[in-house]
Amino acid sequence: MTDDANAPWLIVGLGNPGPEYAANRHNVGFMVVDLLADRIGGKFKRAQKAQAQVVEGRMGPPGPANRRVILAKPMSYMNLSGGPVTALRDFYKVPTAHVVAIHDELDIDYGVLRLKIGGGDNGHNGLKSMTKAMSAEYHRVRFGIGRPPGRMQVADFVLKDFSSTERKELDFFVDRAADSVECLVAEGLERAQSAYNS
């Protein structure tokens, strides 16, 4: 699989399946791909070849920057995301450099975005699983959730819902993250970083 400019993009929101996790901080990746699906007018359906839900469509302005995209939500648990993502990558013939993982990031303040390609997993089990399954050379849209307060354990913090204060701005931040993905796909990483990295 070559990194062909015309190859499709696989945009993966990381999260845990099930209604009890839907509003958790750890599920912000699902929130962003849900919004992207709304924007391209698609509904998630079960993938044929992977434990995931997918939407296929096109993203970007008319013309050469309009890209074929597959939006995906792995239906494994977070720490097993690599299997479904790799299966989708292979089925749709997506180069690894056209895979985008949208995920929560503890070491960034709430609502701050950072886009990059490659790098470590910073203890994030979804990224750890993806990197083990297919290498680290995929794009990441890192959505800051901040560190847990006081002595709260990280695992408890990420599996809690956003606070009432955070929820007041959550839609705005999710919207901005979706914008950053569209910019990344249409205009490339450098342009998206200069517009959205804060």
Residues annotated catalytic, as ranges: 26
Asked if 58 and 69 touch (Cβ cutoff 8 Å), the reply is: yes
